[in-house]
C-alpha cells in the first residue's frame, strides 16, 4: 500500500541491500585511510551561515544558490553543511589543532546538503567521504592525498576512472591570472552566454565549465593558469607531477580544470568516471593554503578532497551480495520456541550470526525462511529433545548432540 508521504525531493532512503554496498565502501575507505594515518573527525550537520559564506566563498554556486539556510529560534542564521572543508578548518582552529605537530591528517564521512535540481548522481542530501591534510605545503602531501583516493577507487574496482590535474598558483598568482582572464572575457563579451557574461567579475573561472558554443569558442583562446605558473608555484606543480610519475599514478594535466570553491590555490584535481554521464566527477579537491587564515587562524597550508559516495556506488553499479547468516534455529513443535530463543542468543554471543522464526511458521515454512535469508546451516530442534543439523548448500542432514549445540556450531566455523 502506497503511503501518502514520500521522501522529500532530492532525498532517498537507503534500503538494506544498498546499505550493504555502502558498508563495504565505508569499510574499505576506513582501512585505507587508517593505514595512512588519517583519523576520523565529525562536525555538526549545521553551522553558522557565515562560516560557509567566508569559507566556501560568496561567488560560488554553493553559496549563491545551493545552501539550505534557516533561522533558529534565537534569530541566528544557520546552514545545513554543503561541504566539509570549512567545518573541519573551523574545528581545527577551535580546538587549537594548529598547536599540534603538523600536519594534522583528518577524514570524515557523512551527509551533506545542497539545494540543487535533482538528477542521476545529484541529490539534495548526499554523502561525502573526505580527507584533509592540514599544516604543510609539501608536494608530498598533495601526492599522498591524491593517492588515497586513487587507491580507494582502485580497491573498490570503480571502472573508467581518469585523474585530471591542474594548478591555480598561489593566491597572488591566481589573482593576477583572474584579472587577465576577466580582460579576455570582457574583450569577447558579445560572444558569451548571458550567464557567463553576468558573472565575469564575480567568478570568471566558471566560464571554463560552460557548455554553450559561443562561450566555448571564447575559452579556446583564453589564457590558462597552468601555462602562466612561475617561480615557486611552477616548482611546486613540477614536484607534484614528478612524485605522481614516480608513484606510477596516471593523470592528465587539464589547464581548464576549475573547482566550485573559491579557496583553492596551487594543486587542484578531479577524478572522473566515464560511466557516469553528466555528473561524471566522483571526487576532487585541492590545496587551500589561504583558507585557515581567512577563517581567522594563522597562515596554514592545507590540502584535501571530497568524494561523492552515491556517485562511486553508481559507477560500481554492483549487485550487493546478500548478507547471509551462519545459522537458523528451527523448531519442529511450537513448545521448543523458548529453547530456540535461548540457543540463538548463545550462538550470537559466541559470534555466530543466527536467527529464528518470529512469525509462527510451521517447520516447512521455517526452512523456507532460512533459505530466504541465506542461512548456511539450520538447526532443527525436535519434539523429543533431539536436534538435527542441516547443511543448506548440500541438503545433508545429520543428528547432533543436543547438549552441545553451540560447540557443534562454532567448531565447524573457526
**Euclidean distance between CA atoms 223 and 226, whole angstroms:** 9
Nearer to ligand ATP, 110 or 402 (CB): 110
223 contacts: CB under 8 Å, gap ≥ 6? 177, 180, 181, 184
Residue 84 makes contact with ligand ATP by CB under 6 A = no
Nearer to ligand ATP, 116 or 212 (CB): 116
Nearer to ligand ATP, 87 or 128 (CB): 128
Rounded to the nearest 10 degrees, what angle do helices 231-246 and 139-156 cross at?
40
Nearer to ligand ATP, 303 or 367 (CB): 303
Residue 126 makes contact with ligand ATP by CB under 6 A = yes
Nearer to ligand ATP, 7 or 246 (CB): 7
For 57, the grid coordinates are 566563498
Residue from 242, 254, 230 nearest 166 by CA = 254
Of residues 275 through 294, those in contact with ligand ATP by CB under 6 A are: 279, 281-284
Which span (21-29, 246-254, 305-313, 316-324) binds ligand ATP, by CB under 6 A?
Answer: 305-313
Of residues 92 through 121, those in contact with ligand ATP by CB under 6 A are: 114, 116, 121
In this structure, what are the phi and psi dihedrals at residue 128, rounded to the nearest 5 degrees?
-125, 145
Rounded to the nearest 10 degrees, what angle do helices 139-156 and 309-316 cross at?
40
Distance in Å, CB of 282 to ligand ATP, minimum = 5
Number of H helices, E strands in the chain: 15, 16
Task: Find the distance separating the first CA and the last CA of the chain, reported in whole Å.
Answer: 44
Residue 162 makes contact with ligand ATP by CB under 6 A = no
For 325, the grid coordinates are 547468516
Nearer to ligand ATP, 135 or 285 (CB): 285
- Order of all β-strands in the sheet with 77-80: 46-48, 77-80, 69-71
Instruction: Choose which of 54, 105, 287, 311 interacts with ligand ATP (CB under 6 A).
Output: 311
Give residues in contact with ligand ATP (CB under 6 A).
Answer: 83, 114, 116, 121-123, 126, 128, 259-260, 279, 281-284, 306-308, 310-311
Amino acid at each position: 500500500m502506497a503511503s501518502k508521504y514520500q521522501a522529500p525531493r532530492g532525498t532517498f532512503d537507503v534500503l538494506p541491500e544498498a546499505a550493504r554496498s555502502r558498508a563495504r565502501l565505508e569499510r574499505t575507505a576506513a582501512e585505507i585511510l587508517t593505514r595512512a594515518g588519517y583519523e576520523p573527525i565529525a562536525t555538526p550537520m549545521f553551522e553558522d551561515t557565515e562560516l560557509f559564506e567566508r569559507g566556501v566563498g560568496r561567488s560560488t554556486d554553493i553559496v549563491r544558490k545551493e545552501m539550505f539556510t534557516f533561522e533558529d529560534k534565537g534569530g541566528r542564521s544557520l546552514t545545513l553543511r554543503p561541504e566539509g572543508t570549512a567545518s573541519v578548518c573551523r574545528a581545527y582552529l577551535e580546538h587549537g589543532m594548529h598547536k599540534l605537530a603538523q600536519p594534522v591528517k583528518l577524514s570524515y564521512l557523512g551527509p551533506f546538503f545542497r539545494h540543487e535540481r535533482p538528477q542521476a548522481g545529484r541529490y539534495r542530501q548526499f554523502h561525502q567521504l573526505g580527507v584533509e591534510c592540514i599544516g604543510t605545503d609539501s608536494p608530498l602531501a598533495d601526492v599522498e592525498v591524491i593517492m588515497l583516493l586513487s587507491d580507494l577507487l582502485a580497491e573498490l574496482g570503480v571502472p573508467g576512472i581518469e585523474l585530471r590535474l591542474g594548478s591555480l598558483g598561489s593566491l597572488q598568482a591566481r589573482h593576477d591570472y583572474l584579472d587577465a582572464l576577466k580582460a579576455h572575457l570582457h574583450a569577447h563579451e558579445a560572444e558569451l552566454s548571458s550567464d557567463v557574461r553576468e558573472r565575469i567579475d564575480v567568478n570568471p573561472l566558471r566560464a571554463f565549465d560552460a557548455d554553450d558554443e559561443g562561450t566555448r569558442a571564447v575559452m579556446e583562446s583564453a589564457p590558462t593558469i597552468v601555462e602562466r605558473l612561475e617561480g615557486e608555484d611552477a616548482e611546486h606543480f613540477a614536484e607534484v607531477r614528478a612524485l605522481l610519475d614516480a608513484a606510477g599514478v596516471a593523470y592528465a594535466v587539464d589547464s581548464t580544470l576549475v573547482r566550485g570553491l573559491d579557496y583553492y590555490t596551487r594543486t587542484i584535481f578531479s577524478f572522473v568516471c566515464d560511466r557516469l554521464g553528466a555528473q561524471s566527477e566522483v571526487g576532487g579537491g585541492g590545496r587551500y593554503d589561504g583558507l585557515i587564515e581567512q577563517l581567522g587562524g594563522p597562515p596554514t597550508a592545507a590540502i584535501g578532497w571530497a568524494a561523492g559516495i552515491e556517485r562511486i556506488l553508481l559507477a560500481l553499479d554492483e549487485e550487493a551480495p546478500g548478507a547471509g547468516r551462519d545459522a537458523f534455529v528451527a523448531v519442529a513443535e511450537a513448545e521448543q520456541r523458548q529453547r530456540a530463543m535461548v540457543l540463538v542468543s548463545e550462538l550470537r554471543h559466541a559470534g555466530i550470526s543466527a536467527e529464528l522464526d518470529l512469525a509462527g511458521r510451521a517447520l516447512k515454512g521455517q526452512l523456507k525462511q532460512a533459505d530466504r535469508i541465506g542461512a548456511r546451516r539450520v538447526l532443527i530442534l525436535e519434539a523429543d529433545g533431539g536436534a538435527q543439523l542441516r547443511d543448506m548448500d548440500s541438503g545433508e542432514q545429520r543428528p547432533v548432540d543436543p547438549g552441545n549445540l553451540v560447540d557443534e556450531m562454532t567448531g565447524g566455523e573457526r
